[in-house]
Amino acid sequence: MQVPHTPLLDLDHIDIGYDGQPVVHDASLQLPEGQIGCLLGPSGCGKTTLLRAIAGFEPVMRGEVRMNGRTMSDPGFTVPPEKRGVGMVFQDFALFPHLTVGDNLRFGIRHWSRAKQDERVRQLLRLVGLIGYEPGYPHALSGGQQQRVALARALAPRPGLLLLDEPFSSMDVELRGELAREVREILRAENTTAILVTHDQNEAFAFADRIAVIHEGRIAQLDSAYNLYHRPANRFVADFIGEGTLIPGMVEPGNQVDTALGHLQGPLSEDLAPGTAVDVLVRPDDIAIDNENGEVRTEVLDKAFRGADFLYTLRLPDGLSVQCMAPSHDNFVIGEHVRLRLDFSHLVVFSRESGVDCPGG
């Protein structure tokens, strides 16, 4: 049964639910050792349930959870969390308030010899930059420091897999990006395999090698950040990741699609016969404002200042609107007419005839 390169974590078509009602459907996912994965999705999509099933807090109704090829969960059988060797960092950190920072870190390695414990605690405090905080209590620490203690505590027993449940959501927005990078460095230093749950795609992009986008309890797409943005597998991912608009069009011979923006040229994401009605994904960076060479005439409907650039909402002649990112040194006013230049490297199309393109289904 054990083959070379068995993934460290293997979710094999699992359903999870409460009272017989599945909340997560048919989830499959493999994570090789040393990689960092991410479960990304809007709130209520089932990502935390999936994480809790991996940790052993929730049983599975169908399918199997395997770690290093060993069955951890299947219907009617669940290795309890305390026997799994899986570390977890919680949204509210869940530091034990009655224990010092040092004793919090020792909690998971209480069976080690005292000398080894001390060694490990020293090493972890150095890693998370909290040397000298060992005798203090958690409530005396700042949020970011508590976060790092929680991480160190979870890492202490050298878990095969580390699960992070929205660990940055209680942080200030400015702190989040920095912390995510810091934590990633720490995980790299410990060569830890990890899964992060988040609803924030920027956090996911900054953190993870592989991202599973989850929608209504199903994995809509499992891919790298680059591919999720540039090659979304379905309408949900196209809409959820990044900004963009789907505009209708008709496939024409020679990798062309005829749309309100004109004839778009580029390799199609799907091999569709000419004459197929499709929706084309237009990202704000696929089009550029160019009043000298642009061919498409549009009117500025709305704009949002983003610092380095503006996100304009532009109305096309036939009434459709698209979004366009433009450097902020040109400041167009609402109602002004501008011309667009097309800048597509490839075309993401979804056939309109295949009916509703439900992610994962």
Residue number, 193 or 259, with CB nearest to another protein: 193
E strand segments, 41-191: 62-67, 70-74, 77-78, 86-89, 161-165
Answer whether 102's CB lies under 8 Å from 135's CB: yes
- Which residues form the interface with another protein (CB under 8 A)? 1-2, 55, 57, 59, 67-71, 76-88, 90-92, 94-98, 107-108, 139, 153-154, 156-160, 163
Q: How far is the CB of 117 from another protein (least distance, A)?
A: 13
Number of CB atoms found within 10 A of residue 247's CB: 20
Residue number, 95 or 228, with CB nearest to another protein: 95
Q: How far is the CB of 110 from another protein (least distance, A)?
A: 8
Residue number, 107 or 332, with CB nearest to another protein: 107
Q: How far is the CB of 107 from another protein (least distance, A)?
A: 5
Q: How far is the CB of 2 from another protein (least distance, A)?
A: 5
**Which conformational region is residue 104 in: left (phi greater than 0), alpha (psi within -120 to 50 degrees), or beta?**
alpha
Q: How far is the CB of 315 from another protein (least distance, A)?
A: 43
Residue number, 17 or 159, with CB nearest to another protein: 159
How far is residue 10 from each of residues 29, 65, 123, 157, 339, measured CA to CA in Å? 6, 6, 31, 22, 50
Residue number, 30 or 224, with CB nearest to another protein: 30
Q: What is the SS3 assignment for 146?
A: helix
Q: How far is the CB of 25 from another protein (least distance, A)?
A: 22
Residue number, 37 or 360, with CB nearest to another protein: 37
Residue number, 52 or 303, with CB nearest to another protein: 52
Q: How far is the CB of 218 from another protein (least distance, A)?
A: 23
Pick from 89, 271, 234: which is nearest to 171 by CA? 89
Residues pairing with 314 in the sheet? 300, 322
Residue 345 dihedral angles phi and psi, to the nearest 5°: -95, -30
Q: How far is the CB of 323 from another protein (least distance, A)?
A: 38
Containing H/E element for 97?
none
Residue number, 86 or 338, with CB nearest to another protein: 86
Residues pairing with 222 in the sheet? 212
Residue 338 dihedral angles phi and psi, to the nearest 5°: -130, 160
Q: How far apart are CA 282 and CA 313, in angstroms?
A: 12
Q: How far apart are CA 38 and CA 196, in angstroms?
A: 5
